[in-house]
Structure 1
Amino acid sequence: MSGAVRHAPGERPPSGPVPRHLGIVPDGNRRWARQRGVPAREGYQRGADRTVEVVRWCEEAGVGTVTIWALSQDNAAKRQELPVMVEGITALMGGLTAAGAWDVNVLGSPEHLDALGPAGLSGRSRRAAVGASGDGYGCGDRLRVNLAVAYDGREEIVAAALAVLAESGADGLDSAAIGRRLERWGQPDCDLILRTSGEQRLSGFLLWQSLTAELHFSPEQWPDFDRAAFDAMLASFADRERRFGA
C-alpha cells in the first residue's frame, strides 16, 4: 500500500505501510483564532502555513496523493466569512505552488470557483485537469496535491457519471467506469482520511473514494497539528489490519 519513498536527507521515513492517497479535512482555523482572541484571518493564514508543512511531511513519508478540503460547496454559497476564507485559500495556493515540486490541482464546481474569483483558482479547476494520465497518484517522483474548493462529494460523483455517459453512453456506465473517471481526475480510492479539531464525520468529503478508507480523528485545531500528531497518525495507520470495507 505504500507509495514511492520520498524523504528528506537525514530524515527517517515511517516504518510500515503509508497511505498512497491521504484526504485531509483541516478543521479548526476559526476556533484556533477565537481561542487566542485574534482575527479569523490570522487563523486561516496559520492554517495555510500548516497545510504546506503537512504536505511537505507527506512527501517525505512517501504519500502519492493528498486531497485537502479547503472549502465546501455549501459554505461557498452562504458563509458570511467567505472573503476571509478565500484570502486563506489564495494564500494556501500560493504556498503550494511556490514549492515548485508538487503537481497542484484544484477540484470543485467550476461555476462556484468562477464566482469566488481569486486568481489562480478558477483556471485550475477539475475540468481543466481531465486529461491527467497515470493511476491517479503522483506523477513519477512528484506528489499530487488536490485542493478541494467549492467541493461536494455527491456533485463529484454526478459529474463523473455524466462524463462517462458523454464518453461511452448508458451501456458504459457502471461503478468501474466512474472509478476510472475519478482516477483520471487525480482522485483514486483513498487509504486514509484525517479530520482535525475533534470532529468525527466526513460531511460528504470523498464520498466515492472513502469506501474502504481508514479514518483518523485528531483533537488538535488545524494550526496546532504538528509533526508529532502527523507521525502518530501514520503510526496508527501502519498498525491497523485493513479490511477494505469488510
Structure 2
Amino acid sequence: MDGNGRWANQRGLPRTAGHRAGAKAVRAVVEESVRHGVGALTLFAFSSENWRRPPGEVMVLMELFMSTLQVEVQRLVEHDVQLRVIGDLSAFSERLRAQFEDAEAATRQNRRLILQVAANYGGRWDITQAVRAIACDVAAGRLGPEAIDEAAVAERLSFPDLPDPDLFIRTGGEKRISNFLLWQSAYAELYFSDLMWPEFDADAFAAALNDFARRQRRFGLTSEQIAASAKAAGG
C-alpha cells in the first residue's frame, strides 16, 4: 500500500494526513474483497524498514494502528472477517500487542475473509525465522537434515495454513516487491498501479481483479507443458 506520503505532499498536507487517508482506502478494499469472494487478503501495513522513518511519523502510524483497531473490529465481525497480524510483533508496545491479540480473538470464528495485516514484517525476516526454527528442530533431534525440503520451510513461515497468494498488487507507481512475501509470492501474478494508495478505491481494486482474471496462470510451466495440460483437460 504505497504512496500515502506522496499523496499528502501533492496536496500540501503533512505525510501523516496521507496515512489517515490510506486507512480509509483499506476499508474499501476489504469490503470489495468480501464482495468478490476473495478468501485471503494480506496488507503490508508496516515493514521492518519503516522504523527508519522520522520518529513523529512512526508515532502517528502506531496511534493509527490503535485507533483503527478500536473502530474497525466490530465492522470486521459484522462482515465475517477474521483478522490476523503477522510479523515480528516484539518491537511494538505491550499496549498495541494487547490490542492485536484482542482484535484477533474477537474475530477468530469469522470465515468469510481472512484479513492479514503485516506489521513489522519483512520477507527476509520471515524466511530467516523459518530457517531458525528448522535449525532448532534439527539440534533438538526432532528433524533430520535429510527431511529439510520446501515443505519444511513453508510450514514454518508466517501463515502456513493459507495457500500462496495468486495476485500481488502494489500501488504508488513502484515496480518492485520490496521484501514482501518473498517466498510465498514465487508464482503470484504481479499488478502495479500508478495510483497512490489513498486513491486506490473499489473501482481500482475491481480493475486489478479483472486484469488478473484475463491472465493465464503458468506456475513456472513451459508452453509445451501448458499445451499438454490443456489437451488433457479437453481444452
> Structure 2 length as normaliser, TM-score?
0.78
Aligned runs of 1:177-188 on 2, under 5 Å?
177-182=152-157, 184-188=159-163
Unmatched runs of 5 consecutive residues or more in structure 1: 1-25, 130-137
- Residue 169 of structure 1 corresponds to 143
- Residue 47 of structure 1 corresponds to 22
Contact 2:84/2:115, CA 8 A, preserved across alignment: yes
- Distance in 2 (alpha carbons) for counterparts of 1:118 and 1:241: 42
Q: 1:232 to 1:161 in 2, by over 3 A?
A: same
- Distance in 2 (alpha carbons) for counterparts of 1:82 and 1:155: 20
- Residue 43 of structure 2 corresponds to 68
Aligned runs of 1:94-173 on 2, under 5 Å?
94-99=70-75, 100=77, 101-114=80-93, 118=96, 120=98, 123=101, 141-166=111-136, 168-171=142-145, 172-173=147-148
- Distance in 2 (alpha carbons) for counterparts of 1:173 and 1:121: 36
Instruction: After TM superposition, give the deviation of residue 92 of structure 1 in Å.
Output: 3.6
Instruction: After TM superposition, give the deviation of residue 119 of structure 1 in Å.
Output: 5.6
Q: 1:139 to 1:185 in 2, by over 3 A?
A: farther
Unmatched runs of 5 consecutive residues or more in structure 2: 222-235
- Residue 226 of structure 2 corresponds to none
Instruction: After TM superposition, give the deviation of residue 188 of structure 1 in Å.
Output: 3.1
- Distance in 2 (alpha carbons) for counterparts of 1:139 and 1:67: 18
- 1:140-184: per-residue Cα shift (whole Å, max 9, x none)? 742111110110111111222333454542444321122233375
- Residue 135 of structure 1 corresponds to none
- Distance in 2 (alpha carbons) for counterparts of 1:220 and 1:181: 34
Contact 1:194/1:217, CA 8 A, preserved across alignment: yes
- Distance in 1 (alpha carbons) for counterparts of 2:136 and 2:129: 11
> Structure 1 length as normaliser, TM-score?
0.75
1:86 alignment partner, one of 47, 62, 68: 62
Determine helix, strand or coil for the equivalent of 1:190: coil
What is the aligned-residue RMSD (CA, Å)?
2.7
- Residue 199 of structure 2 corresponds to 224
Larger C-alpha radius of gyration, 1 or 2? 2
Give yes or no for the alignment of 1:31 onto 2:6.
yes
- Distance in 2 (alpha carbons) for counterparts of 1:59 and 1:145: 10
Contact 1:72/1:149, CA 8 A, preserved across alignment: yes
- Distance in 1 (alpha carbons) for counterparts of 2:150 and 2:102: 27
- Residue 230 of structure 2 corresponds to none
Corresponding residue pairs, total: 209
Q: What is the identity percentage for the equivalent residue pairs of Structure 1 and Structure 2?
A: 38
> 2:200 is aligned with what amino acid?
F
Contact 2:164/2:184, CA 8 A, preserved across alignment: yes
Instruction: After TM superposition, give the deviation of residue 237 of structure 1 in Å.
Output: 0.3
Determine helix, strand or coil for the equivalent of 1:182: coil
